[in-house]
Amino acid sequence: MQHDCDASEALLEQVNHALNSATALRIQGGNSKAFLGRKVDGEVLDTRAHRGIVSYDPTELVITARAGTPLVELEAALDAAGQMLTCEPAQFGGAATLGGMVAAGLSGPRRPWSGAVRDLVLGTRLITGTGKHLRFGGEVMKNVAGYDLSRLLAGSFGCLGVITEVSLKVLPKPRQCLSLRLEMDAALALRKLAEWGQQPISLSAASHDGQALHLRLEGGEGSVAAARERLGGELLESSYWVDLREQRLDFFADLRPLWRLSVPTNTGVLALPGEQLIDWGGAQRWLKSDADVALIRQIAAQAGGHATCFATGHCDSPFHPLATPLLRYHQQLKTQLDPQGIFNPGRMYREV
Write down the pLDDT at residue 148.
76
CA separation for the pair 142, 272 (Å, rounded): 44
**What is the DSSP track for 88-134?**
----GGGT-BHHHHHHH----TTHHHH--HHHHEEEEEEE-TTS-EE
Cβ atoms of 292 and 307 closer than 8 Å: no
Beta-sheet strands, E only, within the chain: 25-28, 43-46, 53-57, 62-66, 83-84, 121-127, 133-137, 162-169, 171-172, 176-183, 203-208, 212-219, 234-235, 258-262, 275-279, 284-288, 306-309
Q: Which of 275, 290, 309 is the last residue of a domain?
A: 309
Write down the pLDDT at residue 140.
53
**Residue 186 falls within a domain, yes or no?**
yes
What contacts 42, CB < 8 A, 6 or more positions away? 23, 24, 25, 26, 342, 344, 345
Residues 251 and 167 reside in one and the same domain: no
Q: What is the CATH number of the domain that holds 40?
A: 3.30.465.10
Which residues, in sequence order, are bridge partners of residue 262?
284, 306
Write down the pLDDT at residue 147.
55
Residues 139 and 227 reside in one and the same domain: no
Q: What is the pTM (predicted TM-score) of this model? A: 0.94
Write down the pLDDT at residue 34.
93
Residues 111 and 157 reside in one and the same domain: yes
* Residue 229 phi, psi dihedral angles, 5° rounding: -65, -40
Q: Which of 122, 153, 172 is the last residue of a domain?
A: 172
Q: Which domain holds residue 68?
A: 8-172
Q: How many CB atoms lie within 10 A of CB 79?
A: 11
**Residue 89 falls within a domain, yes or no?**
yes
**Residue 182 falls within a domain, yes or no?**
yes
**Residue 199 falls within a domain, yes or no?**
yes
SS3 17: helix
Residues 64 and 111 reside in one and the same domain: yes
Residues 213 and 117 reside in one and the same domain: no
Residues 22 and 156 reside in one and the same domain: yes
Which residue stretches of the chain have pLDDT < 50? 1, 141-145
Residues 21 and 71 reside in one and the same domain: yes
pLDDT single digits (tens) 294-337? 999 999 999 999 999 999 889 999 999 999 999 999 999 999 99
Write down the pLDDT at residue 117.
97
Write down the pLDDT at residue 139.
63
Q: Which of 172, 197, 226 is the last residue of a domain?
A: 172
Residues 119 and 191 reside in one and the same domain: no
Residues 203 and 146 reside in one and the same domain: no
CA separation for the pair 153, 141 (Å, rounded): 17
Structural domain count, the chain:
2
Residues 212 and 120 reside in one and the same domain: no
Residues 290 and 168 reside in one and the same domain: no
**Residue 332 falls within a domain, yes or no?**
no
**Residue 42 falls within a domain, yes or no?**
yes
**Residue 325 falls within a domain, yes or no?**
no
Cβ atoms of 69 and 102 closer than 8 Å: no
**Residue 114 falls within a domain, yes or no?**
yes
Residues 203 and 240 reside in one and the same domain: yes
Distance between start and end Cα atoms, the chain: 37
